[in-house]
């Protein structure tokens, strides 16, 4: 699907680099099929040296060369980025945005009429090729455009297709979710220290436990509640710990966290 296509990145920050790395490691494209822009010379040099891809200063040059454009600038820089590429974008190109809170309508209003736009909400674990992304297609995007986006984001993790109205919820859950899990790992580590473990030992056990539990959910296909019950034997240690978590309201607090982040994403989208 990506054979013979040039993929251009407008912005070469962490997310763009993760996607470049994922595409190359999955052998979906070769380095000469990628071009990336960035206003910072040092960053352009880093990307070129690490991945042997062409780098340029102006997004306009990316727009002229690439048939798939990935908008990977910060939300506050999107206006300027769109202005820079508008003259080099037409209805033959696929435009994919990974900027949080920037709607398809916002992008469409600043590019020529009929441009094919896909909006995506990836998350930080894409940096280690274990991300989760929600993607939604714009009015003029085709089924092939959506498939292109799915292939690209599958190179850095898992992908789900949703309606754009649900991307705020994706942001609240998987976009912000890594921070909740980091906090959980930190708390588990502190707990291990409290009961006598060395901090490095507790940290390793906590992080690996979270990783292993997530793999069990993804690879077994079983409901998390069912897996939980396989660990919690009658009158044992696990059920005692689960009781403490339920008594402390962990489940409700996590739900409230996702709701709060979702609401904030909606607010940012209305700015």
Q: What is the pLDDT of residues 161-188, one digit of tens each?
A: 999 999 999 999 999 999 999 999 999 9
Check whether residue 122 and residue 185 sit in a common domain.
no
Amino acid 271: pLDDT: 63
Q: Which domain holds residue 252?
A: 175-269
Distance from C-alpha of 192 to C-alpha of 143, rounded to nearest angstrom: 49
Amino acid 173: pLDDT: 97
Q: What is the pLDDT of residues 235-260, one digit of tens each?
A: 999 999 999 999 999 999 999 999 99
Q: Of 113, 148, 167, which closes a domain? A: 167
What is the total count of domains within the chain?
2
Amino acid 228: pLDDT: 97
Check whether residue 49 and residue 155 sit in a common domain.
yes
Q: Which two tokens stand for residue 63?
A: 């727009």
DSSP 156-216: TEEEEE--GGGHHHHIIIIITHHHHHHHHHHHHHHHHHHTT--HHHHHHHHHHHHHHHHHH
Distance from C-alpha of 124 to C-alpha of 133, rounded to nearest angstrom: 10
Indicate the pTM of the whole model.
0.90
In the predicted structure, residue 267 carries a pLDDT above the cut 90: no
Amino acid 31: pLDDT: 97
Q: Which two tokens stand for residue 68?
A: 């798939």
Average pLDDT, the chain: 95
Amino acid 211: pLDDT: 97
Q: What is the pLDDT of residues 4-23, one digit of tens each?
A: 899 999 999 999 999 999 99
Q: What percent of the chain has pLDDT over 90?
A: 95
Q: Please, which residues have CB within 8 angstroms of residue 114's CB and are 6 or more apart in sequence?
A: 91, 140
Q: What is the pLDDT of residues 87-139, one digit of tens each?
A: 999 999 999 999 988 999 999 999 999 999 999 999 999 999 999 999 999 99
User: Residue positions in the annotated binding site?
Assistant: 10-15, 72-75
Q: Of 167, 185, 216, which closes a domain? A: 167
- Whole-angstrom CA distances from 172 to 23, 63, 179, 215 are 26, 31, 11, 22
Q: Of 167, 189, 209, which closes a domain? A: 167
* Residue of 101, 136, 131, 96 whose CA lies nearest to 10: 96
User: Residue positions in the annotated binding site for NADP(+)?
Assistant: 10-15, 72-75
Check whether residue 151 and residue 220 sit in a common domain.
no
* Residue of 81, 93, 98 whose CA lies nearest to 37: 81
> Is residue 213 a part of any domain in this protein?
yes
Check whether residue 150 and residue 217 sit in a common domain.
no
Amino acid 266: pLDDT: 87
Q: What percent of the chain has pLDDT over 70?
A: 100
The CATH number that applies at residue 144 is 3.40.50.720
Alpha-carbon 258 to chain mean position: 16
Check whether residue 12 and residue 142 sit in a common domain.
yes
Amino acid 97: pLDDT: 97
What's the whole-number mean pLDDT along residues 65-94?
94
Would residue 101 be called left, alpha or beta, if left means φ above 0 and alpha means ψ between -120 and 50 degrees? left
151, 22 Cβ separation under 8 angstroms = no
């Amino acid at each position: 699907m990506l054979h013979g296509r040039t993929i251009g990145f407008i912005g070469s920050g962490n997310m763009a680099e993760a996607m470049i790395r994922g595409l190359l490691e999955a052998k979906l494209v070769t380095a000469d099929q990628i071009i990336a822009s960035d206003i910072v010379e040092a960053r352009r040099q880093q990307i070129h040296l690490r991945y042997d891809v062409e780098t340029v200063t102006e997004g306009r040059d990316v727009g002229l060369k690439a048939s798939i454009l990935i908008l990977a600038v910060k939300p506050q820089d999107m206006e300027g980025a769109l202005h820079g590429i508008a003259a080099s974008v037409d209805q033959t190109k696929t435009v994919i945005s990974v900027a949080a809170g920037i709607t398809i309508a916002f992008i469409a209003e600043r590019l020529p009429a009929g441009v094919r736009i896909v909006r995506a909400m990836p998350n930080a674990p894409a940096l280690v090729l274990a991300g989760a992304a929600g993607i939604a297609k714009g009015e003029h995007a085709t089924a092939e455009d959506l498939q292109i986006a799915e292939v690209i984001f599958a190179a850095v993790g898992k992908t789900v297709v949703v309606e754009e109205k649900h991307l705020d919820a994706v942001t609240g859950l998987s976009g912000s979710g890594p921070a909740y899990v980091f906090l959980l790992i930190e708390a588990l580590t502190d707990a291990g220290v409290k009961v006598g473990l060395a901090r490095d030992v507790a940290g390793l056990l906590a992080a690996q436990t979270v990783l292993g539990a997530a793999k069990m959910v993804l690879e077994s296909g079983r409901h998390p509640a069912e897996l939980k019950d396989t660990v919690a034997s009658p009158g044992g240690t696990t059920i005692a710990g689960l009781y403490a978590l339920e008594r402390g309201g962990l489940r409700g607090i996590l739900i409230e966290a996702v709701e709060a982040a979702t609401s904030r994403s909606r607010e940012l989208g209305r700015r």
